[in-house]
Amino acid sequence: MDVFQDKFNHWKNGLLMYKFALDEINTKLNILNEEFQFIHNHNPIEHIKSRIKDPSSIMNKLNRKGLSVTLENARSYVLDIAGVRVTCSFVRDIYKIHEMIASQDDINVIQTKDYIKNPKENGYRSLHMILEVPVFLANRTEYVPVEIQIRTIAMDTWASLEHKIFYKFDQDIPEKLKKELKLAADTVTALDDKMEYINTEVDKIKYTSKVSNV
Ligand code: 0O2
């Protein structure tokens, strides 16, 4: 077998673990969503999208961090090889999902970054969690890192556009567009607040009419 094929297989086998971890976390999220629907008559999750970072992006990230490009370094230092993006309707659902995941016995939360309470300077908002998920293999259990990004639909719309613009301008967005993006991010925050308010009002009306029907 030639060296290239050997290396390719080494990476391919190494990344298989991340696919198993994604399968596990997707199952967990679907169960939580269905259970929540059953108990509260409401789906906190609108969409779930998952992906394995492609090897060239993993290698770029190792280069950016000044590390040599090895599978071992990728496993230790690139914690978003397996990524799941969860979109919700309301901000309070984001924290509900965060809490439900964090309280699962077999999951270790190794990092939480709250870019909703502390948005990035460009306006980016999202809740990020890095988890260790157990993958049960025939002869051992491996703990595999998975990044979950939880955001509202409005935050997701903003982030998708910003991501495209970022790459369109080769990571150097013109000042004028940066300002416009920040203004759009403020509008997204206002929209999320308004939706949250309307939803709370709907709950209050539903509760009052239930009580008066007793
Ligand atoms: P891609 O293409 O989405 O995978 P660290 O690993 O902790 O040293 P990192 O990875 O920058 O540093 O951590 P962070 O801040 O948690 O960001 C991880 C991911 O969040 C990014 O992955 C993006 O998906 C998303 N993200 C973070 N900041 C922004 C932002 O300003 N705009 C948008 N649109 N997305 C953001 P990647 O690997 O950068 O990209």
Q: Is residue 54 domain-resident?
A: yes
Q: Which two tokens stand for residue 174?
A: 């013109």
Residue 52: what residue type?
I
Q: Is residue 200 domain-resident?
A: no
**Which structural domain, as residue segments, surrounds residue 85?**
3-155
Of 163, 164, 188, best ligand 1 pocket probe by most atoms within 8 Å of the beta carbon: 163
- Identified catalytic residue from 24, 35, 147, 175: 147
Q: What is the 33 CA–ligand 1 centroid distance (Å)?
A: 25
Of 18, 61, 80, 121, best ligand 1 pocket probe by most atoms within 8 Å of the beta carbon: 80
Q: Is residue 38 domain-resident?
A: yes
Q: What secondary structure, in 3-state letters, does 80-137 show?
A: CCEEEEEEECCHHHHHHHHHHHHCCCCCEEEEEEECCCCCCCCCCCCEEEEEEEEEEC
Catalytic site includes residue 201: no
Q: Is residue 77 domain-resident?
A: yes
CATH of the domain at 45: 3.30.460.10
Q: Which atom of ligand 1 is nearest to the CA of 159?
A: 34
- Region 133-153: mean pLDDT is 95
Record the pTM.
0.91
Phi-psi region of 170 (alpha: psi -120 to 50; beta: other; left: phi over 0): left
The pLDDT tens digits for 64-91 are: 999 999 999 999 999 999 999 999 999 9
Contacts of 47 (CB under 8 A, 6+ apart): 85, 86, 87
Q: How many domains does the chain have?
A: 1
Between the alpha carbon of residue 2 and those of residues 8, 11, 14, the distances in Å are 10, 15, 18
Q: What's the confidence (pLDDT) of residue 213? A: 66
